[in-house]
Amino acid sequence: MTIELLPLADVSACCAPLTREPISAIEAADLATQLKAIADPARLRLISMVAAHDDQEACVCDLTEPLGLTQGTVSHHLKVLVDAGIFSRDKRGTWAYYRLVPGALDSIATVLVSA
């Protein structure tokens, strides 16, 4: 079942430059939610590991051992990333394959850039 195209309320995908004019409290909260999802060593490594993996996707069993964390903890971090719209999840049989949502990181980066 290849279910693609997550809804995800298009957080911060807008064009708020952050350094152009004072952002609202709501905009700040939304962007902070996205950044909090990434601002963790384990999740940064997960992003890096998945992106560099074969076919740009990986299952939990591929990530647990090299990350050095419990399977339950890895599953938790992956859920955080999926909820934040960074990762997509595709369950095939017994395995759950995670993949970077195209453009997710880029949209966050764009907000930070002054230009």
Partner DNA sequence: GCTATGCATTGATGGTTGTCAATGTATAGA
Partner DNA sequence: TCTATACATTGACAACCATCAATGCATAGC
Least separation, in Å, of the C-beta of 60 and its own copies? 16
User: Which parts of 84-103 interact with its own copies (CB under 8 A)?
Assistant: 100
Residue 2 within binding range of its own copies, rule CB under 8 A: no
| Cross-strand partners of 98 | 58, 89
The reply on whether position 15 binds its own copies by CB under 8 A is no
Of residues 77 and 82, the one with the C-beta less far from its own copies: 77
Q: Which does 71 bind (CB under 5 to 8 A by kind): its own copies, DNA, none?
A: DNA
Q: Which residues contact 101 (CB under 8 A, 6 or more apart)?
A: 6, 8, 85, 86, 87, 88
The string of DSSP letters for 28-80 reads: HHHHHHHHHHH-SHHHHHHHHHHHHSGGGEEEHHHHHHHHTS-HHHHHHHHHH
The nearest distance, CB 100 to its own copies, in angstroms, is: 7
- Number of alpha carbons in the 13 Å side-chain half-sphere of residue 111: 21
Which residues of this chain interact with its own copies, rule CB under 8 A? 18-23, 25, 28-29, 31-32, 35-36, 38-42, 44-45, 47-49, 51-52, 66, 100, 105-106, 108-110, 112-114
